[in-house]
Amino acid sequence: MSMHSTWMSFRSLTADQSVKNQKLKPGTISRITRFAIPYKISLIFFMITVVIDAFLIIASPLLLRKLIDDGVIPKDFELVTSLAVLVGIIAILDAVFSMIGRWFSARIGEGLIYDLRKQVFEHVQRQSIAFFTRTQTGALISRLNSDVIGAQQAFTSTLSGVVSNSLSLLLVIITMLTLSWQITLVSLVLLPVFLIPTKWIGRKLQGLTRQSFDINAQMSSNMTERFNVSGALLVSLYGDSEKEKSEFAIKARKVADIGISIAMLNRIFFIALTSIAAIATAVAYGIGGHLAINDQLTVGTLLAITALLARLYGPLTALSNVRVDVMSALVSFERVFEVLDLQPMVTESQNAKMLKTDKPEVTFDSVSFTYPSAKEISLASLEAVAKPELVESGEVLKNISFTVLPGTLTGIVGPSGAGKSTISSLIPRLYDVTSGGIFIDGLDIRQYSIKSLRENIGVVTQDSHMFHDSIYANLLYADSKVSKNEIENACRAAQIWDFIEGLPNGLDTVVGERGHRLSGGEKQRLAIARLLLKKPSLVILDEATAHLDSENEALVQAALKEVLKNRTSIVIAHRLSTIVNADQILVIDSGSIVERGTHEELVNKKGLYFDLYERQNFQEN
């Protein structure tokens, strides 16, 4: 038996048998077919090479038979030479067609991987922020990697394997029956002896492999959470290092023990396959030898049959599990389609208009909002822990109405959890309102294109995110076309240029994962510089100075003055000192506006704003 046939048998028998019981959604096959249409020419040529290869499999044994019977035994030197050359040519042709087939297979496979990954990536990017708040990143990446690769195998190894094995098996059995029906029948009778032990080993390997994958996934998740800066910091401050090492060591030991068991079972598997194939060959030689002695079979025919025998069990074993192979590929496709079928909550209207405005007017008209439920925004299979929500979140915003006039500053304050940050998320359509409407320059923001809406909005949150890249690359994310001079001007305005100049690598300094190599104030000022480079007409500051010390707050406040100059601005404030000069202040409590006015007006009302103001003054003093 060839090494390739043995490996194909191994892969088929050790595949996850549970997929046989899964039911595909209606229309899955037709959707898969549509993915194949761009590659139909390549698929046709690929299948031609598979068919030719199947015929070449029986050509060599038949030529060997002729070489022995008509050349070697009669001592026909010329025929022996010509047939030997022909066998060599067939071997070369087999290699050539194998290379051509591999090229087409790679072209189809890599093309499908590209198409699927591109579609999934683009589709995921269109999802609302709500989707990412629930989805486990590792599970989503798995769809882009493991499942996409599993799906492309439907058109490469699975399709070619079914066609090649079916055709090879048919040709081999017909040829063997023609040459000697007695040996062929005995060989087929031996098949259960061949399959029973390998299936048992296969099932054992399935269980061990699944355990290994599960534990490796747990270890990977553990490392992902602890090897990022935030996780490492938490472990350092709160964790028990001995417990962490012990728990990881237990998992790693289990994986190692499973690996040893798998290695031994693999060796038993291959020994069993090669031994049974050798026994079958010995039986064939024994029966064929007696037939040859009795002149019922030629020596060449005996050698041809034993050569064909090596090509019999591999395809038989693979085809005995063809349903598993096919379903594995189809289920991978379905898991990819599961992501593609999850519709984004925030969608763009047909004939969406472009937003072009220098000083927009923003109006909230009777806006109410409830956060979407899990079933609306995510997939249980993409969540590490998916549990049904027993209680709905309820309305976060209730009948909110206000107007931010062009070029003015509106401050929003209130207790934690009042709904302040939700307001900032609704304006750039990270979520859509449940009822009511948000208008910019008199038009509902759902009528604008999402891209143009967000291009006009600049946001700085209390924890501005930075990619693990250079300062320069993080600033360019606002606008890839800005010049070095514009970057310097923005950084000077954001009170961060002197700091950058003092760094050994300047703008090329890498900020670390999530910007953890920078202090909170430095990161916030970089975020402000990034906002300035974007040049938005509407600025939203969501507690941008909430976690800063007094020195950094002063620097950030100076930077914010530049940001807010001549722009329509909404500032969600934790520290009331940042919005004392606002044109209007909205006080939010339990999702409703309970007070509104200027700083002086609200202080004089002696209401919630006054309480918040007094409490902060007391804490600061």
Highest mean pLDDT among 73-77, 554-558, 559-563: 73-77
Model-wide pTM > 0.85: no
Residue 372 pLDDT > 50 = yes
Instruction: Report how far apart, in Å, the C-alpha atoms of 566 and of each of 455, 487, 537, 558, 585 are.
Output: 17, 20, 9, 15, 18
- Mark whether 470 and 321 lie in a shared domain: no
Single out the residue of 22, 16, 21 nearest to residue 212, CA to CA: 16
* Residue appearing with tokens 């693990």: 468
469 and 336, same structural domain?
A: no
Q: Given a cut of 90, is residue 364 above it in pLDDT?
A: yes
**Predicted pLDDT at 63:** 87
Does residue 420 lie in a domain region? no
Burial class (CB in 10 A: 0-12, 13-18, 19+), 377: buried
Lookup: tokens for 26: 């209606």
Residue 447: band (very low, low, confident or very high) from pLDDT cuts 50, 70, 90: very high
* Average confidence (pLDDT) over 89-104: 88
Q: Which of 34-38, 320-324, 384-388, 390-394 has the lowest mean pLDDT?
A: 384-388
| 8 Å CB contact between 281 and 309 | yes
Measured N-to-C along each axis, helices 322-340 and 77-125 cross at an angle, to the nearest 10 degrees, of: 30
Which strands sit side by side in the sheet containing 457-461, from one edge to the other?
457-461, 538-542, 568-572, 409-413, 584-589, 592-597
For residue 389, pLDDT over 60 is answered with no
Confidence of residue 403 (pLDDT cuts 50, 70, 90): very high
Question: Is pLDDT at 332 greater than 80 in this prediction?
Answer: no
Nearest to 498 by CA among 529, 535, 520, 463: 529
Residue 383 counted as domain residue: no
Same domain, 150 and 12: yes
The predicted model gives 570-582 an average pLDDT of 84
**Residue 441 pLDDT class (50, 70, 90 cuts):** very high
Given a cut of 80, whether residue 183 has pLDDT beyond it is yes
Residue 246 lies in a domain: yes
Residue 363 lies in a domain: no
Q: Are residues 46 and 193 in the same domain?
A: yes
Give the pLDDT of residue 402.
94
Domain-embedded: residue 360: no
Whether residues 124 and 268 share a domain: the answer is yes
Tell me if 174 is assigned to some domain: yes
Which amino acid is located at 454 in the chain? R
pLDDT at res. 381: 59
**pLDDT for the residue 51:** 87
Q: Give the span between the Cα atoms of 387 and 601, in whole angstroms.
A: 47
| Percentage of the chain exceeding pLDDT 70 | 83
Amino acid at 294: N
Structural domains counted in the chain: 2
Domain that holds residue 518: 465-527
**At 29, which CATH number?**
1.20.1560.10
End of a domain among 340, 366, 394? 340
Q: What is the pLDDT of residue 296?
A: 85
Contact 521, 556 (CB under 8 A): yes
Region 341-362 average pLDDT: 86
Residue 360 in this model has a pLDDT that exceeds 80: yes
pLDDT at 410 over 90: yes
Q: What is the pLDDT of residues 63-92, one digit of tens each?
A: 888 888 888 888 888 888 888 899 889 889
Q: What pLDDT sits at residue 549?
A: 62
Q: Please give the residue that has the higher pLDDT: either 463 or 545.
A: 463
pLDDT score, position 151: 74
Lowest mean pLDDT among 22-31, 329-338, 376-385, 552-561: 376-385
What is the C-alpha separation between 514 and 468, in angstroms, rounded? 6
Q: If pLDDT is split at 50, 70 and 90, which confidence band does 194 have?
A: low
Mean pLDDT of the chain: 80
Confidence check: pLDDT of 221 > 70: no
pLDDT at 401: 94
Q: Tell me what the mean pLDDT of segment 540-566 comes to.
A: 72
Q: Which of 340, 373, 408 is the last residue of a domain?
A: 340
At residue 391, the pLDDT reads: 46
Would you say the C-alpha torsion 323, 328, 333, 338 has a positive or negative sign? Answer: positive
What is the mean predicted confidence (pLDDT) over 599-610? 89
Specify the 3-state DSSP secondary structure of 407: coil
Write down which residue in 340, 361, 391 finishes a domain: 340
- Asked if residue 539 lies in contact with residue 578, where contact means CB atoms within 8 angstroms, the answer is no
How far does CA 100 lie from the centroid of its chain? 31
Enumerate the β-bridge partners of residue 363: 403, 439
Among 44-48, 247-251, 546-550, the least confident range: 546-550
**Which of 543, 310, 322, 513 shows the shortest CA–CA distance to 423?**
543
